[in-house]
């Protein structure tokens, strides 16, 4: 049974969603954000960043932490638009839907969280709507900020891209501030690991054909599942999965394909979140692959 109650977290008004096994908090005044996600009696897996701010030409953008919806490609003029609009919240039997009016680029955002009645699972639907007068090219961008100290799992393609195996089958994108010798990044043949700890920013992205990425922290495995569009264009040199970290948090990011969104049209990107407990640390590629196989990922 799913219970939904009004409350607060980090001095922010929110709706708490719980099924007795897991709990989730979704903001109702700022954001929107999911600012808490954990086992029923466990610590927050999501980073709490009430004072983290990005300065932009439009004013300060407060990250807050947790999970948010952006649209790619990243561009400071439209990406860091201050979230000062009044939110509209709708409560259903199993979750909450939060809508925010259009920002300066005429894009309205909607985040919907539907919790399973028994399992440690949440369906998160991200919707972008073009309320402007012209077609806009964009991609839904789902970003989850987590606390540091764990290991990110990024499954790699395990099949050739052509029958003869003559064409490339893997690609990575690295950002200008990323050092290729960064010891936190362990590139693997079938599973790349990102070990998280406080350090200068780094980011990598790639095209994920498996449709999931994961984060292990203190015995819990958090996975985000999505559906890759195998033949569609994606931002950032073709990335549908990205990982960023710095001194304060790590981000697990998935993206939908680039879309030419006409006026009054919308596009959605769906993630399925799952938690699993009692998981040994996958601190190398072999252990990570064994874990993925064991769990059927």
Question: Facing residues of 16 across strands?
Answer: 5, 25
Q: Cis peptide leading into 216, omega within 30 of 0?
A: no
pLDDT band at 19 (very low <50, low <70, confident <90, very high): very high
Q: Please tell me whether the overall predicted TM-score, pTM, comes out greater than 0.85 for this model.
A: yes
48-58 residue pLDDT tens: 999 999 998 88
Please report the sign of the dihedral spanned by the C-alpha atoms of residue 160, residue 205, residue 145, residue 70. Answer: negative
Distances (CA, A) of 152 to 11, 194, 278: 29, 5, 17
pLDDT band at 159 (very low <50, low <70, confident <90, very high): confident
pLDDT band at 84 (very low <50, low <70, confident <90, very high): confident
List all residues 6 or more positions away from 11 whose beta carbon is below 8 Å from its beta carbon: 50
Residue 290 predicted with pLDDT over 90: yes
Distances (CA, A) of 227 to 137, 190, 207, 239, 276: 20, 19, 12, 13, 21
The pLDDT, as a whole number, for residue 163 is 86
Determine the average pLDDT of the residues in 212-221.
98
Determine the average pLDDT of the residues in 175-184.
97
Q: CATH: 2.60.260.20, 3.30.300.30, 2.70.98.10, 2.30.30.180. Which one for 3-295?
A: 2.70.98.10
Q: Quick one: tokens of 100?
A: 């925010």
Q: Rounded mean pLDDT of the chain?
A: 96
233-288 residue pLDDT tens: 999 999 999 999 999 999 999 999 999 999 999 999 999 999 999 999 999 999 99
**For the chain, what are the domain ranges?**
3-295
For residue 83, count other CB atoms closer than 10 A to its CB: 18
107-153 residue pLDDT tens: 999 999 999 999 999 999 999 999 999 999 999 999 999 999 999 99
Residue 46 predicted with pLDDT over 90: yes
Nearest partner of 92 among 67, 126, 115, judged by Cα:
115
128, 267 contact by CB (below 8 A) = yes
Q: Could you give the CA distance from residue 289 to residue 155 in angstroms, rounded to a whole number?
A: 8
Residue 161 predicted with pLDDT over 90: no
């Amino acid at each position: 049974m799913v219970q939904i109650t009004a409350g607060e977290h980090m001095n922010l008004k929110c709706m708490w969603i719980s099924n007795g096994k897991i709990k989730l908090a979704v903001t109702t005044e700022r954001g929107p954000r999911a600012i808490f996600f954990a086992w029923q009696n466990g610590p927050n897996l999501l980073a709490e960043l009430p004072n983290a701010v990005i300065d932009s030409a439009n004013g300060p953008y407060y990250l807050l932490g947790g999970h948010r919806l952006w649209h790619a490609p990243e561009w400071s003029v439209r990406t860091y638009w201050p979230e000062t609009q009044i939110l509209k919240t709708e409560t259903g039997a199993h979750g909450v839907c939060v809508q925010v009016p259009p920002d300066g680029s005429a894009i309205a955002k909607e985040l919907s969280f539907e919790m399973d009645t028994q399992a440690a699972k949440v369906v998160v639907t991200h919707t972008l709507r073009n309320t402007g007068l012209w077609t806009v090219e964009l991609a839904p961008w789902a970003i989850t900020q987590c606390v540091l100290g764990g290991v990110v799992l990024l499954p790699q393609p395990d099949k050739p891209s052509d029958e003869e195996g003559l064409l490339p089958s893997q690609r990575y994108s690295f950002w200008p501030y990323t050092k290729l010798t960064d010891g936190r990044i362990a590139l693997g043949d079938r599973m790349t690991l990102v070990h998280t700890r406080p350090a200068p920013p780094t980011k990598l992205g790639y095209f994920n054909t498996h449709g999931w990425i994961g984060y292990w922290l203190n015995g819990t495995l958090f996975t985000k599942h999505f559906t890759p569009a195998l033949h569609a264009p994606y931002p950032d040199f073709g990335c549908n999965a990205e990982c960023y970290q710095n001194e304060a948090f790590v981000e697990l990011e998935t993206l939908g394909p680039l879309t030419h969104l006409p006026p009054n049209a919308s596009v959605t990107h769906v993630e399925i979140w799952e938690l699993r407990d009692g998981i040994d640390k996958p601190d190398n590629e072999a252990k990570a692959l064994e874990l993925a196989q064991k769990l059927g990922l």
